[in-house]
């Protein structure tokens, strides 16, 4: 026999093996799931499981006669007390199928009588449901409890017909807690959630079993926590593009989540170097590191003196039983740089080259609190004096405080070209005395 003949014969054998299953159908149904029994011996029956609500009778079974011939159907139900089958329904319609519906849990048998004789089938039917409740019994500033309770049984019981002993059919319950119905946060029916969200959040308890029966229960977490955060905005640098100058005006934009308006506390700490000096001088002890406390939602503060300053925000959320707080520190220090003074060494008033360079003699000073500028000729005569005891940044002085700069005139007349002398003295906003002096040249265009 060649290989093709052997394959053909094998296929024929398979077809004949399948014919009884195909021609002589057992009990069928529209169940959600059908699984075999696990009897201790003999042939196995099917268990038909129907999903629904508690108390529903959704189970139904369909018997089909062998070879689809007209038949009568005698339905029986297993009596667990007697261990025998009692009459349930006698169908003499002569149809090829018979259906029994609204069935209680149990084992059903059908005797089908047709022209080919009597055929008997047996099947189990169960009305299955999954039921649960969900609640949040505990909630504080650090965590809350998602508590689920399963109200439906986790197993079915049926009878091992060969022995009469009880068998368990596990439903294979699985649970998931879903945040906003999508993100799995736990697979334990009661769980503790840490780092609670700052917004009211919906949680869904999803309970499923191996038969694809499902229960979904919603519970809402009402947030009682807050998350502190803020942004600091400083003015555009005008005096020097490299540094921030004192006095430094900083606006704090409060971006906290779920904090109560009017309950924010801002802590501005003293200059870091000052704290270090105090700590070193007092054996590591600092009396008070806080410069000022501010109780405004989004404050503005002027750092009058040079230094490195840390800022902390405490956000509060007050509920019936808790006052929850959160703290946010800046990622870096606010730095108001130390004082310095600079002066040009060339002065060209009345320059006609159109570039307007050094048209006025401008002494640039940075982070100063008091300043006195004096300009002398080569014989020591005072030509110009300007003084301020409360300097508020130098950048606008050319336009707003014209007396701060020298225009190269003496008594309204143009000063002669030559060498002049300046002296600048005052107190920086770092608390230190500053003094600088030097010569500069006054040139005039031809």
- Fold entry, domain 340-442: Immunoglobulin-like (2.60.40)
- How confident is the model over 135-184, as pLDDT tens digits? 999 999 999 999 999 999 999 999 999 999 999 999 999 999 999 989 99
Other C-beta atoms within 10 Å of 254: how many?
19
- How confident is the model over 368-404, as pLDDT tens digits? 889 999 999 999 999 999 998 887 766 545 655 677 7
Structure-token match 């009884």, residue found? 20
At 262 the pLDDT is 95
Q: Categorize the per-residue pLDDT at 130 as very low, low, confident or very high, splitting at 50, 70 and 90.
A: very high
Indicate the CATH number for domain 3-128: 2.60.40.10
Dihedral of the CA atoms 191, 192, 195, 199 (nearest 10)?
A: 70
At 424 the pLDDT is 92
CATH class of 230-336: mainly beta
> How far is 299 from 289, CA to CA, in rounded Å?
20
Instruction: Give the contacts of 428 (CB within 8 A, at least 6 positions apart).
Output: 306, 338, 339, 340, 367, 368, 369, 434
Closest-CA residue to 295 (of 249, 333, 260, 335): 260
435, pLDDT greater than 50: yes
Q: Establish whether domains 132-221 and 340-442 are of one fold.
A: yes
Q: Categorize the per-residue pLDDT at 430 as very low, low, confident or very high, splitting at 50, 70 and 90.
A: confident
- Mean predicted confidence (pLDDT) in 263-271: 97
At 24 the pLDDT is 37
Domains of the chain by residue range: 3-128, 132-221, 230-336, 340-442
- How confident is the model over 34-81, as pLDDT tens digits? 999 999 999 999 999 999 999 999 999 999 999 899 999 999 999 999
> How far is 30 from 242, CA to CA, in rounded Å?
79
- How confident is the model over 217-227, as pLDDT tens digits? 999 999 999 99
Instruction: Give the contacts of 401 (CB within 8 A, at least 6 positions apart).
Output: 386, 388
Closest-CA residue to 88 (of 115, 117, 112, 110): 110
Indicate the CATH number for domain 132-221: 2.60.40
């Amino acid at each position: 026999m060649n290989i093709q003949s052997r394959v053909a014969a094998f296929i024929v054998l398979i077809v004949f093996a399948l014919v009884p299953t195909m021609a002589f159908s057992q009990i069928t149904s529209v169940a959600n799931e059908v699984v075999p029994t696990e009897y201790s011996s003999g042939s196995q029956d099917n268990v038909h499981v129907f999903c629904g609500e508690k108390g529903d009778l959704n189970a139904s079974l369909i018997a089909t006669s062998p070879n689809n011939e007209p038949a009568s159907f005698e339905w029986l139900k297993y009596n667990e007390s007697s261990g025998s089958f009692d009459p349930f329904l006698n169908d003499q319609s002569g149809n090829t199928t018979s259906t029994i519906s609204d069935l209680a849990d149990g084992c059903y048998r059908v005797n089908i009588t047709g022209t080919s004789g009597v055929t008997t089938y047996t099947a189990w039917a169960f009305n299955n449901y999954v039921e649960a409740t969900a609640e949040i019994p505990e909630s504080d500033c650090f965590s809350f409890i998602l508590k689920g309770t399963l109200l439906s049984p986790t197993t079915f019981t049926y009878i091992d017909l060969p022995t009469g002993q009880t068998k368990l059919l596990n439903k294979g319950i699985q649970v998931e807690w879903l945040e906003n119905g999508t993100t799995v946060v736990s697979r334990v029916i009661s769980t503790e959630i840490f780092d609670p969200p700052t917004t009211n959040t919906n949680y869904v308890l999803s309970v499923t079993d191996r038969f694809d029966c499902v229960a979904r229960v919603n519970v809402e977490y009402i947030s009682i926590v807050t998350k502190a955060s803020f942004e600091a905005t400083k003015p555009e640098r005008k005096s020097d593009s490299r540094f921030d100058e004192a006095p430094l005006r900083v606006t704090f934009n409060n971006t906290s989540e779920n904090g109560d308006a009017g309950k924010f506390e801002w802590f501005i700490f003293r200059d870091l170097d000052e704290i270090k000096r105090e700590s070193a001088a007092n054996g590591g002890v600092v009396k008070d590191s806080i410069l000022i406390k501010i109780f405004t939602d989004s404050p503005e503060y002027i750092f009058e003196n040079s230094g490195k300053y840390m800022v902390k925000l405490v956000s509060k959320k007050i509920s019936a039983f808790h006052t929850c707080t959160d703290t946010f520190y800046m990622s870096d220090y606010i730095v108001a740089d130390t004082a310095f003074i600079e002066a040009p060494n060339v002065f060209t008033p009345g320059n006609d080259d159109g570039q307007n360079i050094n048209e006025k003699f401008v002494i640039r000073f940075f982070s100063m609190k008091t300043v006195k500028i004096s300009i002398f000729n080569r014989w020591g005569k005072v030509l110009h004096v300007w003084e301020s005891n409360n300097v508020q940044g130098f950048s606008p002085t050319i336009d707003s405080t014209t007396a701060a700069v020298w225009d190269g005139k003496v008594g309204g007349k143009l000063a002669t070209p030559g060498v002049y002398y300046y002296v600048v003295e005052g107190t920086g906003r770092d608390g230190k005395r500053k003094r600088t002096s030097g010569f500069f040249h006054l040139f005039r265009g031809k």
